[in-house]
Amino acid sequence: QIDEAEVVAFSVPSYACLRRTTLDNHNPVLTDALSLLAENAELSDEDGRGVAFRRAAAVLKALPEPVTGVTQLRGLPCLGGHSLRVIRDILENGASSEVEFTKQSERFKALKVLTDIFGVGAKTAERWIRDGIHSLHQLQESGQTLNRAQQAGLEHYDDLKQPVTKAEADAIGEIVEEAVVSVLPGAQITLIGGFRRGKLTGHDVDFLITHPEEVLSLQGFLLYQKTTRNSYLEAKDGPARPASNMDRFERCFSIFKLADAEKRGTKQTENTPEDTCRLAAHSRWRAVRVDLVVSPISQFAFALLGWTGSKLFERELRRWAGHEKAMSLSSHALYDNKQGRYLKATSEEEIFTYLGLEYIPPSERNA
């Protein structure tokens, strides 16, 4: 007789920052299902449940092969009863009734459509749904007041739903680089986010610009921009927290105007009226979401680590730092609560060392 308790097929540490998670996911059906439930929870203001599903999905992403039976999951961390039920349903019945129900639900569909508009979060979508708005058409008919971000988001809805390719990311990178370096010689531009982790497509392109100054002249390219001047100061008496006007850390969540590949050689300048009323079929450019983060050189390594993702990997790093090392990690700094001081770093490797972690390269941070 086999003691089933001894059937431990996989062993995975519970912190995602102790695991190497590549894009080679052997359990996409299971992780898609759990990610959908996570998304639904997040859209429903149930962040705790969202994180639980994200953690469960991330554990499955780290497995070296497909799961074929629930007994293989014995001893794995982060798999709560709810996630296990979903997994069992899929393994035994081919689908999870909860996932299928959620996918079909009017509420989830409406939340998705509305929050897919750039500038619309769960709160706003919720309010609109309560007013009977479930579709873009209903939104346009409703006479709701949209802010500038939402107007731009609605205007470029179809473009922004199209995944951004690595080729497009590289093309934007060259334009951003040229524009930034022309105003700030010596500035350094680094691709961050999903593309740095090796993803082939993304919902946006993320760049980190390192320079102490903050002037960016990308006017001709930006269809919409919201810049946040995020002042940050190392407080003498406590962990990293925003303070007043010392080091500027600027963020710019923008919509970028990218010419079609065959037109990219020619210089882009103003938005002409012709551009504004282009027909999708004859488009000479597309809109792309671009996030620009500017960090002073002293914070570069922290910004790089903090903006490369994945979101869950970042969350787990901070949890590890706080719970296991009594340190506070942010995209600006690392504070050692025991020593009562900031730990300086110029590379990601140094930060991992401070945290007592083996270095995990970006391509293995796809938790």
* 249 counts as binding ligand CTP under rule CB under 6 A: no
Reference 213, options 174, 244, 183; nearest CA is: 183
Whether residue 75 contacts residue 11, with contact meaning beta carbons closer than 8 Å, is answered with yes
Length in residues, the chain? 367
Of residues 164 and 175, the one with the C-beta less far from ligand CTP? 164
DSSP string computed for 103-121: HH-HHHHHHHHHHTSTT--
Spell 141-151 as b/e; 16+ CB within 10 A means b. eeeeebeebbe
| Residues 37, 53 contacting (CB under 8 angstroms) | yes
For residue 24, the partner it binds in ligand CTP, Mn ion, none, with Cβ less than 5 to 8 A by kind, is Mn ion
Question: Judged by CB under 5 A, which stretch of 83-91, 167-175, 205-213, 262-270 contacts Mn ion?
Answer: 205-213
For 349, residues 6+ apart whose C-beta sits below 8 A from its C-beta are 359
Give the distance, in angstroms, between the CA of residue 246 and the centroid of all CA atoms in the same chain.
27
CB of 134 or CB of 197, closer to ligand CTP = 197
| Binding site partner of 83, from ligand CTP, Mn ion, none, Cβ cut-off 5-8 A by kind | none
- Work out which of 55, 156, 199, 332 binds ligand CTP, going by CB under 6 A: 199
Quick one: which of 204, 247, 250, 316 contacts ligand CTP (CB under 6 A)?
Answer: 204
206 binds ligand CTP (CB under 6 A): yes
Out of 202, 239, 296, 362, the residue judged to bind ligand CTP by CB under 6 A = 202
Task: Give the active site residue among 89, 116, 275, 291.
Answer: 291
Pairing of strands 205-210, 188-192: antiparallel
Question: With b meaning 16 or more CB within 10 Å and e meaning fewer, what string describes 2-40?
Answer: eeeeeeebbebeebbbebebeeebebebbbebbbbbbbb
What is the pattern of x (binds ligand CTP, CB under 6 A) and - over residues 304-333?
---xxxxx--x-------------------
Task: Tell me: does residue 204 bind Mn ion (CB under 5 A).
Answer: yes
- Do the Cβ atoms of 334 and 357 come closer than 8 Å? no
Q: How far does CA 23 lie from the centroid of its chain?
A: 15
Near ligand CTP in 92-121, by CB under 6 A: none
- DSSP letter at 219 equals G
The entry of ligand CTP, Mn ion, none near residue 119 (CB within 5 to 8 angstroms by kind) is none
145: which DSSP letter? -
Known catalytic membership, residue 204: yes
Nearer residue to Mn ion within complex by CB, 23 or 95: 23
Among 193, 239, 306, 362, binds Mn ion (CB under 5 A): 193
291 is catalytic: yes
Binding site partner of 302, from Mn ion, ligand CTP, none, Cβ cut-off 5-8 A by kind:
none
237 labelled binding-site residue: no
* Start-to-end CA span in the chain (Å): 37
Interface mask toward Mn ion for 243-282; x: CB under 5 A: ----------------------------------------
Query: Is residue 203 a contact point for ligand CTP (CB under 6 A)?
Result: yes
Contact window for Mn ion (CB under 5 A) among 41-49, 71-79, 199-207, 273-281: 199-207
**Other C-beta atoms lying within 10 Å of the C-beta of residue 184:** 20
Q: What backbone phi and psi angles, to 5 degrees, belong to 129?
A: -60, -40
d(CA 284, CA 275): 8
Would you please indicate which residues are annotated as catalytic (active-site) residues? 204, 206, 291
Site residues (CB under 6 A) for ligand CTP?
193-194, 199, 202-204, 206, 291, 307-311, 314
Annotated binding residues for Mg(2+): 204, 206, 291
